[in-house]
Structure 1
Amino acid sequence: MKSYLVSLAIGLLVGAIYSLLGTRSPAPPAIALLGLLGMLLGEQAVPLVRKAWHGQGVVAFWKSDCQERVTGVPPAPEDAP
């Protein structure tokens, strides 16, 4: 139930921002796709910043956890020639 309320609240916030920017909602396809890309990158940014903050390996984390989600391309096998 909590995730539904959070989703609604974020939707209201984004709707208000769209209104302030003068963009109609639903947004035109290019704007909507850029918004989705921003959401995807933002979702990956939080764990990356946490890793960097704690001095952990950011590059390895990006390759193992984030790269596939952002690009849609699975990582290459380590033992490939």
Structure 2
Amino acid sequence: MELVCPICNSLSSYIVQCPFCNSEMEAQAAIQDYFDDYSTYLDKGITEMMDNVSEDKCLHIFSCPQCHKDRRVSINKILM
């Protein structure tokens, strides 16, 4: 068994309300996918060491389609 992110693995979706305009934000990729042009191709174990969150969490970007603001949200990984 291992810890996996429910968003990265399409196991669930999250509803996050925009703190600026109260619209529903859309989940984007995990933050480590935005480090550089090649980070999406690296092993998650390598890039997760650089995001400064605990091993049992995955940091995701949520963006607002209305006001175009974004927010980082820490998602609890689940045991599978």
Q: Quick check: TM above 0.5?
A: no
Structure with the bigger RCO (C-alpha within 8 Å, sep 6+) is 2
Whichever structure has more strand as a proportion of its residues is 2
**TM-score bracket for this pair, using the shorter chain length:** under 0.3
Whichever structure has more helix as a proportion of its residues is 1
TM-score scaled by length of structure 2? 0.23
